[in-house]
Structure 1
Amino acid sequence: MRSQLLRSSFGCLLTVFGPFPASCINKAVRQTAAAVPHSYYPRKTMHYQTEQRGHPNSPDYRIYFSKFISAMMNGPHITVFIASFSQIATKEPLNPIKQDVKKGKLRYVANIFPHKGYIWNYGALPQTWEDPSHKDKETDCCGDNDPIDVCDIGTQVCSPGQVIQVKVLGILAMIDEGEMDWKVIAINANDEDAEKLNCIEDVRKSRPGHLEATVEWFRKYKVPDGKPENQFGFNGEFKDKDFAVEIIKSTHEHWRALVQKQTNAGGIECKNMSCCNSPFQFSADEARAVVQSAPAFGSAHPVSAEVDKWHFV
């Protein structure tokens, strides 16, 4: 009964850390499903507030969740979304959202012609973990040490820190520099198109070219940084929602082992306030001190003109 419910109506609550403007945050936020078996079932959406610290468009900028919920170790039914090269700071307490940095400089998603920034709301499923010690039997690649990324193809642009419920439609097996980096295709459950999109073939029929554009976007988005094109398992074909749910369940089990200290943490900061029986739990006072130690929220720094450059690759 449980697996049938998962197959027919899998729902996740997502937090959207973006889309920040194409000029802001980069890389994807990650995590999923729940710490207890029944948490895979659809639940009533909960409301989460965020607290900004530091200066937007600077290395010290962070977004924390209210009530000191970790963006990676959070409670049973949050899914984290983000855009524009933001990322979950997996090696910091409470795993806040931050601007991605490369070689001391802020990183922004490149505008690969004809696309301006991301082409969907880009984020991740909380309480999932792509274990770098686990080799996928289909692709023979190990996980990338992050939560699973999600592409919400809904019609509404989401805002940073937003939590939404999504319907899983399929999944793409991207291989990023030899690491397994799954991309779940989903739609906001409250979207005007959610009722008519129930599988990956529905997406193909109702939105001609969107799936092909998704593959091309992921194939080329790191090329402007001097990196090779990304590769894909299954010849770049999308797998269906049943396959996607099995991957989500598997990475949730890896996350459970992580938060229960049953596996190597891979450098991830696992301190949390909400995971039952986790040896990494800490107090509200300790969590509050983490947030308050971050720089106070201030005015945004200017954004580099590089973010508006077109790349033709």
Structure 2
Amino acid sequence: MRPLLRSSLGVLPFLGSHSATESRVITQAGLPTYPRKMMHYQTEERGQLNSPNYRMYFKNSEGKYISPFHDIPLFTEAQQQLYNMVVEVPRWSNAKMEIATKEPLNPIKQDIKKGKLRYVANVFPHKGYIWNYGALPQTWEDPNHTDKDTKCGGDNDPIDVCDIGSMVCSPGQVIQVKVLGILAMIDEGETDWKVIAINTEDPDAENLNNIDDVRKSRPGHLEATVDWFKKYKVPDGKPENQFAFDGQFKDKDFAIKTIKSTHEHWRALVQKKTNGGEIECKNISVCASPFKCSVDETRDVVQSAPASGSTLPVSPEVDKWYFL
């Protein structure tokens, strides 16, 4: 079976403020033409969806395999403080999909715990994830860096993002977001920042500019976000998560400062100026990175993955409700 290719659009950094969009067309031969300022990303699926061998790899507009962690730029428009977000999990879904930080080219895969595919529980009244969930590329929460406010090290992943827009995105979609605020979750002794942002394509994006705007225009949404992060691991037998700042959201300026800090930690990581442990830093575009590799190397990585296969069924247990 041929690999399944999907396409999405992102914005080239520093070339204007045209917002990111997505093409849901499955591309099989050739690429459509888009405005010059747009950068086209494709995703190629390998293995079988809903299985441990499933992987979603990324390609750029030239058809070259890239890392969504390292090769997609953080900024889409630096002066306007707009960022790329790589969507890992669509709103209302349960599969814990994530950028595989310890695999070459960092494809999206489903997390595995105790040998089983991981699905987040439906903790009443929430159904799966309550936002489009993903990460900001070219950021890294350094576990060796102790945050002065949380007094904890980072969680060793790109910084997480919750897109609170009304559109339901697709896994692997690259969208342009406006940052509104941030929440500091403490997960098993690690700082796990949660950036609150909105897709610039959302009808409400123009009117939401800071966390207070969210609080005023969407009553209960921020409280639901804290409740979700506090309880989502409880059905797995774990305690409730804790938060710094008494569970209060910090504003846009604080969020942007935190993102910049994680961007600098990422830069040190890919330039081998800090110990990244098992983090895989293979990339094709980062200047001064000793991990920069050839197109042939990236092709070999993808071709070594299992061929694309049919989607496997999901257990009915995933739809179970939990009342806590």
SS of 1:303's equivalent? Answer: coil
Pairing of 1:9-48 with structure 2 (within 5 A): 44-48=37-41
Question: Taking CA–CA contacts closer than 8 Å with sequence separation of 6 or more, which of the two structures ends up with the larger relative contact order?
Answer: 1
- Structure 2 counterpart SS, 1:274: coil
Check if 1:289 corresponds to 2:300.
yes
1:129-151, CA deviations, whole angstroms, 9 ceiling, x for partnerless residues? 00000000011010000000000
Question: Do the aligned partners of residues 268 and 232 (structure 1) sit closer, same or farther apart at CA in structure 2, a change above 3 Å counting?
Answer: same
Q: Describe the SS at the equivalent of 1:82.
A: strand
The equivalences for 1:1-313 within 5 A come to 44-66=37-59, 67-77=64-74, 78-83=84-89, 84-313=95-324
Instruction: From the superposition, tell whether residues 282 and 72 of structure 1 become closer, same or farther in structure 2 (CA, over 3 Å).
Output: same
Q: Output one character per residue of 1:213-248: Cα deviation in whole Å (capped at 9) or x when no partner.
A: 000000000111111100000000000000000000
Letter matched to residue 162 of structure 1: Q
Native 8 Å contact 1:14 1:125 kept in 2: no
2:170 counterpart letter in structure 1: S
Q: One-letter code of the match for 2:109?
A: K
Q: 1:44 to 1:237 in 2, by over 3 A?
A: farther
TM-score (norm 1): 0.86
Between the aligned residues of both structures, percent identity stands at 75
Does structure 2 retain, via aligned residues, the 8 Å contact 1:64–1:94? yes
Q: Secondary structure at the match of 2:157?
A: coil
Structure 1 122/191 Cα, relative in aligned 2: closer, same or farther at 3 Å? same
Q: Residues 1-28 of structure 1: CA distance to partner in whole angstroms, max 9, x if unpaired?
A: xxxxxxxxx999799xxxxxxxxxxxxx
> Contact (CA 8 Å) 1:45, 1:164: kept in 2 or not?
no
Contact in 1 for aligned 2:19/2:201 (Cα 8 Å): no
User: What do you get for the CA RMSD once the two structures are aligned?
Assistant: 1.9
> Are the equivalent residues in 1 in contact too, given 2:185–2:191 (CA < 8 A)?
yes
Contact 1:59 1:106 in 2 (8 A): yes
What is the aligned residue count? 278
1:284 CA displacement: 0.3
Contact 1:14/1:166, CA 8 A, preserved across alignment:
no
Please give the per-residue CA displacement for 1:87-142, whole angstroms capped at 9, x wherever unaligned. 11111000000011011110001101011101000001000000000000011010
1:56 is matched by which residue type in structure 2? Answer: L
Check the 8 A contact 1:82/1:161 in 2, yes or no: yes
> Quick one: structure 1 residues 267 and 11, their matched pair in 2 at CA, closer, same or farther if it must change by over 3 Å?
farther
Q: Match of 2:68, as an amino acid?
A: A
In structure 2, distance between residues paired with 1:12 and 1:264: 36
Which of the two has greater helix per residue? Answer: 1
